[in-house]
Amino acid sequence: NPRASIASLSESSAGQHLFIRARIHTSRAQGNKMLFLALRQRLSTIQAVLVVNPNTVSKQMVKWAASLPAESIVLVEGTAQQPAVPVESTTISNCEIILQKIHLISGIEGRLPFTLEDAARTAEEYEERDAEGNKVYNSVGLETRLNNRVLDLRTPISQAVFSVQSGVTSLFRSYLESQGFLEIHTPKLQGAATESGASVFKVSYFKGTAFLAQSPQLAKQMAIAADFERVFEIGPVFRAENSLTHRHLTEFTGLDLEMTIEESYEEVVGLLDSLFLHIFSGLNEKFAKEIAVIGKQFPAEPFLWLEKTLRLKWGDAIALLRESGIEIGDFEDLSTEQERTLGALVREKYKTDYYILDKFPLAIRPFYTMPDGADSRYSNSYDFMMRGEEILSGAQRVHDAVFLEQRMREHGIDPASMKGYLDAFKMGVAPHGGGGIGLERVVMLFLKLNNIRRATMFPRDPKRLEP
């Protein structure tokens, strides 16, 4: 028999004979003759009613069904009917089912660490008080959720978050393919650090040592040297950053791209910008329901962007910060706090949560960054920002082998440790540039989840390698 999906049922399904496999979300008995179940599939629930009936449903059956704990997986058979009062909800079906049969497919051992009802409580319900006025913290803390991640992932909010995450990678891939990019896969085991020595994980590699890739940086540039012209990769990135913050993981998913340049690095910035606009509008278009579900627990002002993206040069950003009383040097890197302040100032002045910060000081960028031809204290490099936080970092790259070697030495890198990379440049490479995006950051900031772990299925940080 075909199984119905709860999300596809509506009042017009009334009268249909249905088979549904779902989890018991909640269960409420009324006397010993009637049982109300909320059955759940992903984001959607449906009310199911089991009532004693001389031909099909015995008292024992109602009693047994009432004893099934929440989260059990059941297969039910019944008839759809219109609810007495129409249901207007993005997640609860406007259709009920009168049950004839219920089979247990997979049961629960022991007690659940928390209920999904508690896990779904909204911010206001955090403040719920009991009769004596004491605070009742029914909602579930992040640590408990992460320790019991599979259960937490079943909540409609988590289900929605990972649909949106999948939407970001799918929009990233489809846009780049439409622009002639080739998807590549580069090694995560490396002979040397790829970004900076400080944050690299060492792993034992037979009798020697290998390093986990901190970025596909060198490999994606070598793919350009190999004439692939436009490449992208979606893959894991490892950073041994020993800091517990709301936005750092030790393993995240990098959305990287690299492309040749004909005339100017504006071509890269323009493409990256169109890519983000494609992602933002695609998410709003395809995931309105998911965004609404998430917004119930994480209320956020809608993500704003402009038709023509704001480009702020480094000097303009420093001026904006100084105007608001912040003391900062011309070539000093921004702290996380200053970055956020800048985001707030930009939102106030330009009404956007998305902008490009361009022309970074050369001294605070990696060795492979191309200096600005007009003023070599700056560089042809940029960060893209969402809600005041960095989501992309990129640049035009140095493509002259002699200059590249000089830049390495200036950064204290032994060119011999990157021989394969340097050799690629000695055989000629077209001017090129690109960028790297943190997938989990884009999801966290678009949805305002406030912690990157909520946008990571099984997060890894300095204190967490499990589950």
CA 227 to centroid of chain Cα atoms: 32
Q: Catalytic: 340?
A: no
Binding residue (CB under 6 A) for ligand AMO from 343, 371, 431, 435: 435
Does position 434 bind ligand AMO by CB under 6 A?
Answer: yes
Q: Does residue 395 touch ligand AMO according to CB under 6 A?
A: yes
State in angstroms the smallest separation of the CB of 144 from ligand AMO.
23
Burial category of 299 from C-beta neighbours within 10 Å (exposed 0-12, middle 13-18, buried 19 and up): exposed
Residues 311 and 289: their CA atoms lie apart, in Å, by: 32
Who contacts 330 (Cβ-Cβ below 8 Å, separation ≥6)?
315, 318, 361
Please tell me whether residue 217 binds ligand AMO under the rule CB under 6 A: yes
Q: Of these, 252, 265, 355, 360, which contacts ligand AMO (CB under 6 A)?
A: 252
Task: Report the residue number, 195 or 405, with the smaller CB distance to ligand AMO.
Answer: 195
Q: Active-site residue 149, yes or no?
A: no
- The region of 8-16, 106-114, 391-399, 443-451 touching ligand AMO under the rule CB under 6 A is 391-399
| Residue 114 or 382 with smaller CB distance to ligand AMO | 382
CB of 45 to ligand AMO, least distance (A): 33
Tell me which stretch binds ligand AMO (CB under 6 A): 44-52, 83-91, 269-277, 392-400: 392-400
Q: Choose one: 31-39, 111-119, 246-254, 280-288; the region binding ligand AMO (CB under 6 A).
A: 246-254
Residue 322 falls in the annotated catalytic set: no
Residues paired with residue 38 on neighbouring β-strands, in sequence order: 26, 47
Q: How many CB atoms lie within 10 A of CB 257?
A: 28
Q: Is 343 an interacting residue with respect to ligand AMO (CB under 6 A)?
A: no
- Beta carbon of residue 434, minimum distance to ligand AMO (angstroms, whole number): 5
**From candidates 361, 431, 436, 459, binder to ligand AMO by CB under 6 A:** 436
Distance CA 20, CA 1 (A): 10
Q: Is 459 in the site for ligand AMO (CB under 6 A)?
A: no
**Whether residue 307 lies in the annotated active site:** no
- Among 390, 399, 405, 440, which one carries the catalytic annotation? 390
Residues 183-212 binding ligand AMO (CB under 6 A) are: 195
Question: In angstroms, what is the minimal distance from the CB of 423 to ligand AMO?
Answer: 20
For residue 167 the two structure tokens come to: 């939407």
**Least separation, in Å, of the C-beta of 379 and ligand AMO?**
11
Q: Does 316 bind ligand AMO (CB under 6 A)?
A: no
Let me know if 241 is a catalytic residue.
Answer: yes
Asked if residue 249 binds ligand AMO (CB under 6 A), the reply is: yes
With CB under 6 A as the contact rule, the residue among 145, 441, 453, 454 that binds ligand AMO is 441
133: left (phi over 0), alpha (psi -120 to 50) or beta: left
Single out the residue of 248, 448, 460, 464 in contact with ligand AMO (rule: CB under 6 A): 248
Q: Which of 50, 72, 71 is nearest to 61 (CA)?
A: 50
Total site size for ligand AMO, rule CB under 6 A? 22
Q: Considering the candidates 393, 397, 399, 432, report the single residue annotated as catalytic.
A: 393
Catalytic residues, by residue number, are 239, 241, 247-248, 390, 393, 441
User: Where do contacts with ligand AMO occur on this chain (CB under 6 A)?
Assistant: 195, 215, 217, 239, 241, 248-249, 252, 256, 390-395, 434-438, 440-441
